[in-house]
């Protein structure tokens, strides 16, 4: 086992949990998770509960793998220092494509922590939206990245606004949620994936069915994770927008 500890942003969501468990359970590597707490998000309680449940269940599957995951370092988004240069890069990139505000404060956090590298678990698929447009043709695969390689911003672009992502690597950018589901089943941790949280606007602690992450889950063929009411609302939403 490598002595290096992998730093990873973990939200309790599908993509980051897949990477976390794959590293610890399958690859037997140590992981240091980071969670940025944003109390303005309606789902933060659900995310924290999901992470607790995932750890507990993993310990039952493999105590050795559970030990490889360090205690999550939790930071409030409001604690992250301002870096005007980073904010300006974000604002300029946002003019080119839709880009969630989380990438701005994640970049500021990485700068504050002086990361050499922190993994961002982003999957191949519709959820990337504007970020996918920005990264298309602007990243390169680093085959030397342990253990299986990862995508990074192309070195030639590190002096551009895309240097917003210079401290990050994207290890699972080449696979979809459906492919992760299959891998998790084959490797014996699919029950952990069903404990993940994804909805941005839960109703009574259950997925709403109509927010963007819920829509992505349905499109990826995992509609079983949405309550019946949420699935019906999703169908109504699709009908309205198809008129």
Q: Would you state the pLDDT for residue 144?
A: 62
CA 90 to chain centre: 19
Q: Would you state the pLDDT for residue 202?
A: 93
Q: Would you state the pLDDT for residue 1?
A: 41
Q: Is the pLDDT of residue 56 over 50?
A: yes
Q: How large a percentage of the chain has pLDDT more than 70?
A: 91
pLDDT category at 146 given cuts 50, 70, 90 is low
Q: What is the pTM of this model?
A: 0.89
Cβ-based neighbour number of residue 127 at 10 Å: 22
| Alpha-carbon torsion, ordered 168, 214, 194, 222, to 10 deg | -110
Picking from 25-39, 133-147, 186-200, 212-226, which range would have the lowest pLDDT averaged per residue?
133-147
């Amino acid at each position: 086992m490598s002595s290096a500890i992998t730093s990873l942003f973990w939200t309790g969501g599908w993509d980051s949990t897949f990477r976390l468990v794959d590293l610890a359970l399958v690859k037997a590597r140590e992981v240091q998770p980071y969670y940025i707490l944003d109390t303005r998000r309606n789902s933060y309680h659900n995310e924290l509960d999901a992470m607790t449940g995932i750890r507990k269940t993993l310990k039952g599957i493999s105590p050795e793998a559970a030990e490889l995951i360090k205690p999550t370092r939790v930071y409030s988004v409001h604690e992250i220092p301002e870096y005007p240069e980073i904010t300006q890069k974000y604002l300029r990139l946002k003019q080119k494509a839709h880009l969630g505000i989380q990438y701005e404060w994640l970049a500021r956090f990485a700068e504050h922590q002086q990361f050499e590298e922190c993994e961002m678990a982003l999957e191949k698929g519709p959820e990337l939206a504007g970020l996918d447009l920005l990264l298309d043709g602007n990243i390169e695969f680093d085959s030397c990245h342990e253990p299986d390689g990862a995508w990074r911003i192309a070195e030639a672009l590190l002096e551009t606004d895309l240097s917003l992502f210079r401290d990050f690597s994207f290890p699972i950018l080449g696979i979809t949620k459906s492919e992760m589901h299959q891998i998790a089943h084959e490797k014996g941790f699919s029950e952990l994936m069903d404990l993940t949280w994804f909805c941005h606007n839960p109703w009574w602690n259950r997925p709403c069915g109509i927010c963007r992450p819920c829509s992505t889950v349905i499109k990826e063929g995992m509609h079983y994770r949405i309550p019946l009411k949420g699935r019906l609302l999703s169908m109504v939403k699709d009908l309205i927008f198809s008129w």
